[in-house]
Structure 1
């Protein structure tokens, strides 16, 4: 079991490459969580160090301190990834772990507090300590690809919310169909069939939509 390291203010500032004055400023702005108090001594840990390094990385990428404060608040109030995925729940989707700066790089300055809040509300993102977890590598890759094509992330997230409601309706339809003729134990085995139907129907729908444009 790893021993939890703790640091006094001067040591933490040195490890983070900032001054004690800057550290105090960040603490006053609530960019970092409060330290553990032992009498008059404030003790910081690796969580504080990771947050300070994230702040430095985001500042280098052009984020303002106000924006970073809002991001930090969103991270601190985000749902734990275990709540999103369910402990031990089976899934075909591969979660992806990201640091806040990696997330910022993925979306080229569009990882704003508003967009982050929308992604957290949708359940695309969860938190795990100092890391962010996206619930699906496929969704992450597609959404970042759409942003690279010039579609604003806010629009991608709004579309994702609509797709979610349609996908829930399709899942309910398939589950009801199976349960009328089989049992709940058959759902995992028949799941690929449902996905194939949806993919084929979406492909045909896109064909019809593109023909209208011709």
Structure 2
């Protein structure tokens, strides 16, 4: 087990590559949590050091201190990763750990307090120390791809909330089906079958939408009367 290290402010500043004055400024702006007090002495730990290094990385990427403060507030008041994952990790979806700068890079300019709150409320994001944890690698990749295509993250999250509602209904439909007709079977064995049906129906629905939105061929000209 790694022993927890603590630092006086001067040592913390040296390890983070900044001045003591900057550490005080960040503390006053609540960019870092309060230190542990022992009389008149303030003790900082590796959590503070990681946060300072994260701030430096975000500043290098062009983020403002106000934006970083919003991100820090999300850490301190966000959902814990244990709440996000519940009793255990998803059986098929793989969680992804992201530093704040990695999250900011994936959603350039879209990591706002409102979007963070929406993602946490939806159950996409949780916090673990100085990292974010996204509950699904596939959803993370799709969300960032949609944002790169020019769709605002707020709209992606709103769409995700609606999809969640429909997905819950579909899951209930298939679970009820197997419990009524094959109660001895485990629900986990239903997953591939249910997923195949939903994917096929979604593919067919997209085909119908594409055909509906595409202009039809020009009508045949009137036959020559001669």
Q: Could you tell me which residue of structure 2 aligns to residue 20 of structure 1?
A: 20
Query: 2:134 maps to what in 1?
Result: 134
Question: Is the Cα–Cα contact under 8 Å of residues 98 and 131 in structure 2 kept in the other structure?
Answer: yes
- Other-structure match for 2:67: 67
What does residue 112 of structure 1 align with? Answer: 112
Deviation (angstroms), 1:184 = 7.3
Matched residue of 1:93: which SS? Answer: coil
Matched-pair contact (CA < 8 Å) for 2:93–2:137: yes
Match of 2:101 in 1: 101
Tell me the residue number matched to 2:195.
195
- Relative distance call for 1:184 and 1:148 in structure 2 (3 A) is farther
Count of aligned pairs: 214
Output the CA distance in 2 between the equivalents of 1:90 and 1:58: 31
**Higher share of residues assigned helix:** 1
- Looking at structure 1, the residues matched to 129 and 54 of structure 2 have their Cα atoms a distance apart, in angstroms, of 13
Q: Distance in 2 between matches of 1:58 and 1:139?
A: 24
| RMSD over equivalenced CA pairs, Å | 1.2
Give the structure 2 partner of residue 122 of structure 1: 122
Matched position secondary structure for 2:101: helix
TM-score when scaled to structure 2?
0.91
**Rg larger for:** 2
Q: TM-score, structure 1 length as denominator?
A: 0.96
Aligned equivalent of 2:183: 183
Please, which runs of 5 or more residues in structure 2 have no aligned partner?
215-226
- Structure 1: gaps of 5 or more residues: none
Q: What whole-Å deviation, never above 9, does each CA across 1:3-52 have from its counterpart, x for those lacking one?
A: 00100000101111111111111111111111001111000000000011
1:85 aligns to 2:85 (yes or no):
yes
Q: How many angstroms does 1:86 deviate by?
A: 2.1
* Gap change, CA 1:13 and 1:168, over 3 Å in 2: same
| SS of residue paired to 1:120 | helix
Give distance in 2, aligned partners of 1:74 and 1:5: 25
What pairs with 1:46-61 in structure 2 (closer than 5 Å)? Answer: 46-61=46-61
Q: Secondary structure at the match of 1:44?
A: strand
Asked if the contact 2:97/2:133 (under 8 Å) is kept, the reply is yes
The offset of 1:183, in angstroms, is: 2.4
Q: Work out the CA distance in 1 between the residues paired with 2:185 and 2:127.
A: 32
Q: For residues 184 and 134 of structure 2, what CA distance do their matches in structure 1 show?
A: 28
